[in-house]
Chains A and B, each alone.
Chain A
Amino acid sequence: MFTAMMAKLLILLAALVFFVAAVIIISRMKNVNRAEMVQIFKTAKYLNLWVIIICVVTTGVFGVFNHFKLKQSVHAIVSLNYSEASTAQNSNGTRYNSAEIICDEVVKKAIEKGALENVSVKELQNCLVVYPCVQGGVENEWEYHISTEFAVEYHASKHTAHLDSENVIKLITAAYKEYYIEKYTDNFRLDTKEEVPDFSTMEYMDLVSYFNKEATAILTYLYGMAEKNPSFVTSNNTTFNSIAGKVFQYQQTQINENLRSLILQNGVVRDKQGYVDRLSYQNKNTDFARQKNQISFDLCNQAISRYAEEMTRIVLVPTWDESGKYYMGRTKVGIDELSVQATGYSDRVASNEKEIMDNNLVIGKLRENASGSQIQESADELVNSVYHTLKLFEKEAVTAGRECSSHKMNQCIAVSIYGTSLMNELKNLVVFAVLMYMALMLWEISKKFPKKA
């Protein structure tokens, strides 16, 4: 701030000298005739040594202050390099908002990332401006333009004068990039568990559920990616759907058939009694839930049967569809709601019963069969093999996702930072030097005008 003030002070000094000299000349103009005035201007020593020296020195001092002043202002251009940007959208199809470049979250992140001290989010935000590089108009179709480039300007204030301007703008744009990637680009993280559980202590049937969940997480990711990028083919000539097909096949055959049947057929269990007790307890709980659902279902049916006939009729209400066409709409009356609820309870009862039956099947199988250590070893081998295969599928899915995003989103946001240009500094110097020279020369000339006629 001091440097900016000093630079302004020097310009003010030059302007003041110019103004005072002009006032003197105007006030003394009445003492000379036109020819004499012309003579004074003609014979003036335009290469006055002192004028030149003062001019050089003040310009030098101004140059130093001006340099530091200009260093406090930096700007960056944020370019959006993905296809949706031309329709003012984020890469995930949501509406693009350039104000997010300097939103609270981004500025806060920039302060944290740069460990910037003694500055608040508001103070930093006040120094930042965002605007589109090319601004279109809305008067007609030809003037309409959606900018994919945005300029971010930073001008230091007294609260932020201690910060390095270039670093601030770098941090803001980097924080925005990170914010954008987190919020709007593809997420490679699968919902699989990062920490590997201890397989040696888990029950085999629990392992089947665990692997099923892992496989489902991979499938969800792959289907999601396939929906967004149906035509993408990886460098290995696979697609998201083909990988998903492999995973699904594996889940059905290896996890749900081979592993599950091996466990059930041979009664493979670590703690038979403990596991049977757990399933029995689970069954009890499920049975309570089933009973509750059954009662609710019966209650709904009873309520429906008590409704008056008139109330069960359909009520038609005149209405209009989206295209403005008239039609008679069917309204929901109380009975509809009850029948929907009854269907829900009925489904839940069926699900509870299935769970109880499954558990009973497992309990029965475990009681019937007693596995030997050899079978247990085979089961352990199969568990390890399933785990590693799933990990390979996970890696394949993530790699395909990365490849796709890299292909589509490479440099989705590019940032160019522009500091002070030397030409800009030189331009200011030349303008100041000319102003100073003119002011000093005018001062010298003003002295030649006689005080009296």
Chain B
Amino acid sequence: MEKEKVTASFQTEGAKKLTKELQSTLKGIVSPQVYETFVDHFVYETINENEIVVGYYGSEPLKNLKKEDKDLIWTGICSVAGESEKFRIEKRTEHSLFWSNPKVQKHLKIAKLFVISVFFAGIALAIALVTGNYIGNRNFRETFYAVSSIKADNPIRVIQISDLHNINYGKENQKLLTRVEKLNPDIILLTGDILDSYRNRQEQTVALCSNLSRIAPSYYIYGNNEVEKIYGFPLTKEELDAKFGFSDENRDWTKLLELEDSFAKALEEGGVKVLKNQTDTLTVGTTEIDVFGVLTSNPSSFWNYADQTFLSYVDTNTSNLKITAVHEPHILEEFQRDFWGDLVVCGHTHGGTIRVPMLGPMYTHEGGLFPERKDKYVYGRYPISGGHLIVSGGLENKNIFRINNQPELVIIDINKF
């Protein structure tokens, strides 16, 4: 029934008449069993002087049709439709019947060409996108955030430089330095991975930081790259306990400061303050500001190695504006607190590598695909425990898949309301 419906849908009146005639002729020639098993399931696809093609839609294998019966059928068709050189019977299914429709074939051809053209246009667009992004990423953009805190008596400007990975913008980062100077910050926060663990360019970082410290008070917070390069092991609770031989009873966070660190010394000599779970207080205008830098940003070690200093930072001088700088945002995702700081700045995520319109950041190492959907802090501004969290996309630009995610210099203006 299905076959008939499909066949009828694309057969002309003439073709239908010919089919009927052929069926009645063949009914008289072949045995009733052959007719019922085979002939009744024929669709005459091509009939001309060169060739006769018959489609068989029955379930019986074609090899069961004897040669004599096949010849009889050929003769019968020729007697009705005229002589033809070749005769073929081909096994068909209902599906192939639809696709063998010439109209469908024609549309299919157009559709194929359309898909091919779209495919190539897509490839061209993808190449243009990647190339355009790569070229665009050679320069950084400036992202401005306005944050309000009642503790700010006067406007305060913070510039955050994150995840530079020893990239240079201009000779010896002159372009970056010039812009930072023109933007006239009150505080500069270097939130980690300024150094790249695979490149041996500590002098370059020290020189950059020294120049920055001449512009405004600068604070350096270590990221995973600095930790790897300087300490040679990740600062997890297990690793630190093993290194110092600590247990829950005798843990002493100050031992962290005793670890050999020539990089920090060089930075301090250049006028940059390196904060290792420490607080520094400065005054901008009439506003007193406490800056806390997290070294042990691994959730396993944070409360074990930074609890005393962090709680003292939060609980003393509560009228001071509190700025918390941490490289990785994991502790903020992991632990719920009433107060992390009036302003918290992070980096590390590289803005999720690719930012898909309407879907957001696409991938981070820790959060996997579309991490924001898993409540991860990946890029931009988030309200956090009565304060503001800003996650920088960083300044790294070597990744060619960094799409729709231009490297950025973050400028945060803190105002009274």
Contact = CB atoms under 8 A, between A and B. Distances in A.
Contact of A405 (B118, B143, B150): B150
A317 to B, nearest CB: 52
Contacts of B286: 189, 194
Contacts of B153: 188-189
A60 B417 contact: no
A49 B118 CA distance: 12
B142 interface: yes
B148 interface: yes
B415 interface: yes
A118 to B, nearest CB: 13
A57 interface: yes
B281 to A, nearest CB: 16
11 contacts: A49-B114, A52-B117, A57-B117, A114-B142, A115-B179, A167-B142, A177-B417, A178-B415, A402-B151, A405-B416, A412-B417
Contact of A170 (B107, B124, B144, B358): B144
B182 interface: yes
A57 B146 CA distance: 41
B72 interface: no
Contacts of A56: 114, 117-118, 121
B141 A402 contact: no
Contacts of B113: 49, 52-53
B100 interface: no
A57 B417 contact: no
Contact of B146 (A170, A188, A189): A170
B107 A185 contact: no
Main secondary structure of the interface of B (DSSP, over half): mixed
Contacts of A60: 121, 124-125
Contact of B416 (A47, A115, A171, A185): A185
B128 to A, nearest CB: 8
A54 to B, nearest CB: 10
B270 interface: no
Contact of B319 (A399, A413, A415): A399
Interface of A: 47, 49, 52-53, 56-57, 60, 64, 113-115, 164, 167, 170-171, 173-174, 177-178, 181, 185, 188-189, 194, 395, 399, 402-403, 405-406, 409-413, 415, 422
Nearest to B155: A178
A174 B114 contact: no
Given A164-B141, A177-B146, A395-B319, 18 more contacts: A53-B113, A57-B117, A57-B121, A60-B125, A64-B128, A113-B157, A114-B183, A164-B142, A171-B144, A173-B146, A177-B415, A178-B415, A185-B416, A188-B153, A189-B153, A403-B150, A411-B148, A422-B357
B59 interface: no
Interface in B129-181: 141-144, 146, 148, 150-151, 153, 155, 157, 179
Contacts of B241: none
B29 interface: no
Nearest to A423: B358
B144 A47 contact: no
A413 B417 contact: yes
Contacts of A194: 286
Contacts of A411: 148, 417
Interface residues of B, number: 33
Q: Identify the 3 closest CB pairs spanning chains A and B, nearest first.
A: A115-B182, A406-B150, A174-B146
B55 to A, nearest CB: 27
Contacts of B416: 181, 185, 188, 405
A174 B412 CA distance: 11
B117 A114 contact: no
A62 to B, nearest CB: 13
Contacts of A64: 128
Contacts of B157: 113
Interface string B177-204: 0010011100000000000000000000
B372 interface: no
Contacts of B151: 402
Contacts of B182: 115
A189 B143 CA distance: 31
B413 interface: yes
A174 B413 contact: yes
Given A114-B142, A189-B286, A181 B121 contact: no
A13 B121 CA distance: 20
Most buried by A among B143, B146, B184: B146
B417 A181 contact: yes
Contacts of B118: 56
A53 B417 CA distance: 55
Contacts of B144: 114, 167, 170-171, 174
A375 B212 CA distance: 52
Contacts of A415: 146
A437 B142 CA distance: 40
A80 to B, nearest CB: 12
A115 B121 contact: no
Interface in B399-417: 413, 415-417
B33 to A, nearest CB: 47
Given A47-B107, A115-B179, A115-B183, A409 B417 contact: yes
Contacts of A171: 144
B121 to A, nearest CB: 5
A171 B110 CA distance: 52
A319 B319 CA distance: 59
Interface string B302-320: 0000000000000000010
Interface in B371-417: 413, 415-417
A341 to B, nearest CB: 44
A426 to B, nearest CB: 10
Nearest to B122: A60
Contacts of A113: 157, 413
Contacts of B121: 56-57, 60
Nearest to B157: A113
A410 B148 CA distance: 9
Contacts of A47: 107, 110
A162 to B, nearest CB: 12
Nearest to A399: B319
B362 to A, nearest CB: 16
Contacts of A52: 110, 113-114, 117
A417 to B, nearest CB: 10
A164 B319 CA distance: 36
Contacts of B415: 174, 177-178, 181
Contacts of A185: 416-417
